Every structure is written in C-alpha cells, then in structure tokens.
Structure 1
Amino acid sequence: MAQIHPTALVDLAARLHDSVRVGPYCVIGPEVSVGEGTVLGPHCVVEGKTTIGRDNRFFQFSSIGAQPQDMSHDGSVTELVIGDRNTVREFCTFNTGTHKEQGLTRVGSDNWIMAYVHLAHDVVLGDHCVLANNATLAGHVHVGDWAVIGGLTGVHQFVHIGAHSMTGFQAHVAQDVPPFMTVDGHPLTVRAVNLTGLRRRAFSDARISAIRQMHRLIYRSGLTLDQARERLAELADTTAEATADVALMLDFLAASRRGIVR
C-alpha cells in the first residue's frame, strides 16, 4: 500500500500507486490519480480532476489542481495532467483548465519548477523546462520544451514561449518569445541567441550557426517579418542539418497571435 502519513487526509476514491509516499497533513481529493514513485511533501493539497505521473517530487505547501482563477468559470469539471519526473518546490500553485480551450492544464515531464511558481488555467508546459522562483504564467500560456523562465517573470495570458528560449530576471512577457532567443527587460527585448542553453544540449556548430543567422534575419537585418520568413525558408534549403530548427521557427512565427517580441 501507499505510504500515507497518519495525519494526511486521502479520499478513499483517490487512486494512488502502491509506491506513492504522502507526507504529513496532505489533503488528496477523490478525483486524484498519482503514479508510481511520486512523493508528496508535507501540507500539499491535491484536488480536482488531477492526474500525476510517475517519479514526481512535490515539496511542502503546494496547491495542485484547484479550480481556475477565472471569474467566468462555472465550476464544471476540468483537468490538470502532470507528466513524469518533475520537481515542484515549495508553495507552487497549478490550476485546472477551463472550457475556453480543452478544459485542460498540462505539465510535461522532467521539469524543474522552483518555489512560488503559478501555472494558471489552460497552461501547456513542455518538457525539460526550468521555471525559477515566483515565475507566474497567466491563463492559456504555452511554453515549449527546454525553455527557461527567470525568477519573478510575469507572462501575459495567451503568450507563447518558444522551445530553447530563455527569459531573464523580472521579465514582463506580453508578446510571443520565438524559439532559441534570450529576452529580458521592460519593455521586453530580444538580446541574443540562447547560446549557453544550446551548447549544454550539444547543438552542433552548424545548427548554432544557422540559429544565429535566423536571429540576424529577424532582428538585425531591417527586414519586415514577412521578408525575414521568406529568407528563413531559403536558409532551410542551404543548411540541411538545421532544417528542423528552421521549421520550428517558421511554425512558431506562423502560429503567433500576439505578435513576437521585436
């Protein structure tokens, strides 16, 4: 059976794998499912229709699966789904989704989520992301894989943050952040390519060179965004190793609804 501290309150309908550990004074609701090897630290509250995968670790005082902070939400059942091997530090708050989208907030796998992080309704967080202390993601924010969000960063609702990007400390993110870019300041500005992150992930010199060329085309060439997109397509034809990276950028630009940081 799951190792449940005597002071924890676990609804009999909750589904916990036998290897789950539940710390003192936790509260777990009836629609919660927790996968193999996951650990819930003291005073965590897990409620709503929440599914948590395997080998996650939640530190103390987190609120997981509460109803969305959306005044139009009618109280109907929506979901929160969390993947595997995530670390969630103290005082984090993850809300379920709303029916404005698919009724789902989703957290991927292998993320490092530091203290006081807030994930609002309908957020989609990818894999291998780092969210530093007090990062706050408003409703409907999407974050790509391997993104890093700096401490005390606020992300406006409906913003998309691209894969392999990085936002600096106290960034005010109100427009979409393209993949591979480093941004900071208020107003937000693209500073450079996230070279440190790319090198840590063993991007080849050819891929990094192509990504730097994408940065120059979008931000340093004086081209309009439509003109830059045309040149990006040509870049994919000349640098075969970077074809997937260019496609990622082009797809992101095509899907942007708030406009990109420029």
Structure 2
Amino acid sequence: MIHESSIIEDGAKIADNVIIGPFCNIGKDVELKSGCRLESNVILKGKLRVDENVRIFSFTAIGNENSEIEIGEKTHIREFVQLGAQEGKDGTPTKVVIGANNFLMGYVQVLSGVTTGEFCILTNAVRLNENVTCEDRVIVGGLSTIEAGNTIGTGVMIGGASCVDHDIPPFTLVEGNKATVKGLNVVGLRRRLKDKNDIEKIKSIFKQILGDVVDKELASDIAIKHENEYARKFASFISTSNIK
C-alpha cells in the first residue's frame, strides 16, 4: 500500500506488500523488499537496498545522490535519523552497511563508510562518524559520538554522553569524555559463551594486557600462543588496534 501523496521515482523496486505512508520520497535506485514499512515523511535516495521487514519511522533521511547503502532485515530506524545522508569529506562516496536486527533510535546520525554487524543498538542522538565499524551486539548510549575510523568490538557497551576516539576491545564497558575502558561486560560474555572457562580466560588476559598501560607486545604473544581461541581473538583485537 502506497499513500497517494508519496513520490516514487521511475526505476525504484518496491515489493508488493510494502507499506509507504504519506509524503515519502523514494529515489529511482531504491529497492524495498518484502514486509518493509515506511511511516510518513521518509526520504530515501541513492543506491539503497532495504531488506525484508525493515521499519523506518517518520522524518528519517537515508542516502544522498551518490551514496550506496544496505540495510539488513528486521532493522528498526526511528524518527529523525540521518543515515548516509551526507557525502564524505573528500566527496568520494563510501558504502554504508547496516546489519540485520539493528535498532537505531531517534536523531541518530550515521556518516559515510560506517558498517555495523547484527543486533546493534544505537540509542538517541548517537553519532557514528566516517568509516566507523561496530561489530555484532554493540550498544551505544545516548548522546555519544564515535570518532572517524575506529572499530568497536563485539559485545561492547558504551555509556551515555561518551566520546570514543580509539578502538574499543570486545566485551568491554566504556564511558567518559574521552571514553576509557572501565571493565569487562561480563553479562554479555555469559550470554555469548556457555563455557565458564572461556570467560575466565578472557578475564585473566584482560587484566594482563589492559592494565594501567596497554601491553600490545604481550597481546600479540597471547594472540599467537594461547590455548583458548576466545582469548586469542580478544588479544588479537588489542594487538592490532589503535589503542595507546
């Protein structure tokens, strides 16, 4: 069902059971797959693929004339979000990929080149600057900013009103301006890892390599030699990160 006040440019691909509310504007290179729903006053531009059962709320703007964006299935994008609506600083478009089952709350801004995994939550007024990568199940508290080019590891929780200016290791708790690691997200670890021994191994190396000084040399050694695969992955992230 498409409201009569909405504008759909020739070339747009709209599945039969998509719902488009009033005063929306859909560009010629947009593809909306089965089950998608757009509320009122949504603007979609550029080369954009929206997978099944995505819901986009009112006054959201996604894409620009030169952008390339993919949005994974069952993602919810709330009011006044701007996703890839601005061109990169050098004018060169970089692809934006939003994974499946993400939740972008009101007034979120996502700039060029951003990639998110699955099941991420960006709460109100979060800003992801250019070329930020969020791995799976990242939660970013409201009014937080992640500076350009940084990677946020799996299972990270970032407190509200934080400014992140470096990579963040997986399953850590982070807050502050400038943001610093406060500890491990033990609840997240317990939800993802069933073996308590795996969790204890990560706890042990966390204390060794992320103390008062980041020990990248030790992290690199653990990433190669440790017997536990999860400990190796954790250490490997730190050893190759931009954390100082």
**TM-score, normalization by structure 1:** 0.85
1:123 aligns to what? 114
Aligned to 2:59: 61
Q: Deviations over 1:63-118 (max 9, x none)?
A: 01125xxxxxxxxx341111111011111111167588883111110111111111
- In the alignment, which residue of structure 2 is the partner of 1:73? none
CA contact (8 A) 1:165 1:178 kept: yes
**Alignment match of 1:84 (pick from 73, 84, 88):** 73
Alignment deviations for residues 171-196 of structure 1 (CA, whole Å, 9 cap, x no partner): 11001101111110122211111112
Q: Aligned residue for 2:11?
A: 13
Q: Residue 184 of structure 2 aligns with which residue?
A: 193
How far residue 254 of structure 1 moved from its aligned partner, in angstroms, is 4.5
Contact 1:104/1:121 (8 A) holds in 2? yes
The one-letter code matched in structure 1 to 2:97 is R
Q: Paired residue for 2:45, among 40, 44, 47?
A: 47
* Contact 2:67–2:84 under 8 Å retained in 1: no
Supply the AA of the counterpart residue of 1:7.
S
Q: Aligned-pair RMSD on alpha carbons?
A: 2.1
> 2:21 & 2:236 partners in 1: Cα distance?
44
**Deviations, residues 21-42 of structure 1 (Å, cap 9, x unaligned):** 1011111010100111011111
SS at match of 2:220: helix
Separation (CA, whole Å) in 1 of partners of 2:26 and 2:213: 55
Q: Normalising to structure 2: TM-score of the pair?
A: 0.91
Query: Cα deviation per residue 1:130-161 (whole Å; 9 max; x = unaligned)?
Result: 11111100001011011111111101111111
Q: Single out whichever of 205-214 and 246-255 deviates more from structure 2.
A: 246-255
- Contiguous gaps of at least 5 residues in structure 1: 68-76
Counterpart-to-counterpart distance in 2, 1:202 and 1:224: 25
Shift of 1:48: 0.8
Shifted more, 49-58 versus 246-255: the winner is 246-255
Verify the 8 A CA contact 1:128 1:147 in the aligned structure 2.
yes
What residue in structure 2 maps to residue 25 of structure 1?
23
In 2, Cα distance between equivalents of 1:233 and 1:217: 16
Contact 1:183/1:189, CA 8 A, preserved across alignment: yes
Query: In structure 1, what is the equivalent of residue 83 of structure 2?
Result: 94
Secondary structure in 2 aligned to 1:209?
helix
* Whole-angstrom CA distance in 1 between matches of 2:35 and 2:232: 37
Identify the residue that residue 126 of structure 2 maps to in structure 1: 135
- Structure 1 position 218 matched with structure 2 position 209: yes
Aligned length, in residue pairs = 242
Tell me, in whole angstroms, the C-alpha distance in 1 between the residues paired with 2:164 and 2:224.
27
Letter in 2 for 1:191: K
Identical pairs, percent: 28
Measure, in 2, the Cα distance between the counterparts of 1:78 and 1:172: 26
Counterpart-to-counterpart distance in 1, 2:142 and 2:23? 29
Distance in 1, matches of 2:182 and 2:224, equals 23
- Matched to 1:23, the amino acid is G
| Equivalent position of 2:167 in the other structure | 176
Assess, with a 3 A threshold, how the Cα gap between structure 1 residues 217 and 12 changes in structure 2: closer, same or farther.
same
Flag the 1:223–1:167 CA change in 2: closer, same or farther, 3 A. Answer: closer
Secondary structure of residue in 1 paired with 2:48: strand
Contact 2:222 2:235 in 1 (8 A): no
- Alpha-carbon contact 1:10-1:27 (below 8 Å) kept: yes
Aligned counterparts of 1:105 and 1:22: Cα–Cα separation in 2 = 23
